[in-house]
């Protein structure tokens, strides 16, 4: 997969145009197009391979869209902030914490009770590579548990535990204090680390994501964010492509 650029005056397939416009990943965009939600020059188009170029008007759900400059942000998510682009309830979505005019959305999920690193971007292709289960992008968490961690707990968590949706893959587990672990997983199941703790008879008091792929949280305070530089985005793409090759 080629890295997208910010060029808007060349012809591209409609699905890629939507991805460049921050609507969805290219794969998800194909479904949106087939569902009749996209218009080109006033006509509904259902073929994702339709070529579009400069000067053509493209609309999604009635609103005009166009390719945007690629942006990737790192956010230190606070508790009670949800990892969605919009929230129908009373809790704030992560997008509210990013100062950008772009149409950003979170890369993967971090549950509302957890804090730490989450990425937001308008690059649907990159988001898809970083979250696709096949590519097994690692994520590292600092986990504080309610009861002391035993050697048996560490061994079981590292080897994989049985959950209601199947056994977990092996993980990297390091005990850093009596009640604290560093856990690196390569899966993205819902509330996985919390359920892993419950599977060994423990419960999570706090969970903070420190690392996502090659990116670290660093010294960002809760609620703070920073925009990745062009060099950092290029490096992230190189990492994502390497993970794709290994799969």
Q: Which residues are catalytic?
A: 111
Q: Could you identify the residue written with the tokens 């956010």?
A: 75
CA distance 130 to 232: 15
The DSSP-derived string for 141-201 is: EEEEESSPPPHHHHHHHHH--EETTEEPPP-EEEEEETTEEEEEES---TTHHHHHHHHTT
CA distance 161 to 189: 13
Q: Would you say 104 and 98 are in contact if contact means Cβ atoms under 8 Å apart? A: yes
What's CA 47's distance to the chain center, in Å?
27
CA distance 236 to 33: 28
**What angle in degrees, to the nearest 10, is found between the helix axes of 230-246 and 124-131?**
50
Q: Would you say 167 and 161 are in contact if contact means Cβ atoms under 8 Å apart? A: yes
């Amino acid at each position: 997969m080629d890295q997208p650029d910010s060029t808007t005056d060349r012809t591209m397939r409609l699905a890629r145009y939507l991805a460049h416009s921050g609507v969805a990943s290219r794969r998800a965009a194909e479904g949106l197009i087939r569902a009749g939600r996209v218009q080109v020059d006033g006509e509904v188009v259902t073929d994702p391979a339709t070529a579009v170029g400069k000067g053509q008007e493209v609309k999604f759900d009635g609103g005009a869209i166009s390719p945007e400059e690629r942006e990737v942000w790192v956010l230190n998510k606070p508790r009670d902030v949800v990892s969605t682009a919009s929230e129908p309830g009373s809790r704030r979505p992560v997008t509210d914490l990013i100062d950008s005019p772009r149409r950003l959305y979170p890369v993967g999920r971090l549950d509302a009770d957890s804090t730490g690193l989450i990425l937001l971007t308008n690059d649907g292709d990159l988001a898809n590579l970083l979250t696709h289960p096949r590519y097994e992008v690692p994520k590292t968490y600092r986990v504080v548990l309610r009861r002391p961690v035993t050697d048996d707990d560490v061994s079981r968590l590292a080897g994989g535990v049985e959950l209601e949706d199947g056994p977990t893959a092996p993980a990297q587990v390091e005990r850093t204090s009596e009640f604290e672990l560093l856990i690196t997983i390569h899966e993205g199941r819902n509330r996985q680390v919390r359920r892993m703790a419950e599977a060994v008879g423990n419960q999570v008091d706090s969970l903070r994501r420190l690392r996502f792929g090659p990116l670290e949280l660093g010294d960002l305070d809760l609620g703070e964010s920073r925009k990745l530089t062009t060099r950092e985005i290029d490096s992230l793409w190189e990492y994502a492509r390497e993970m794709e090759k290994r799969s």
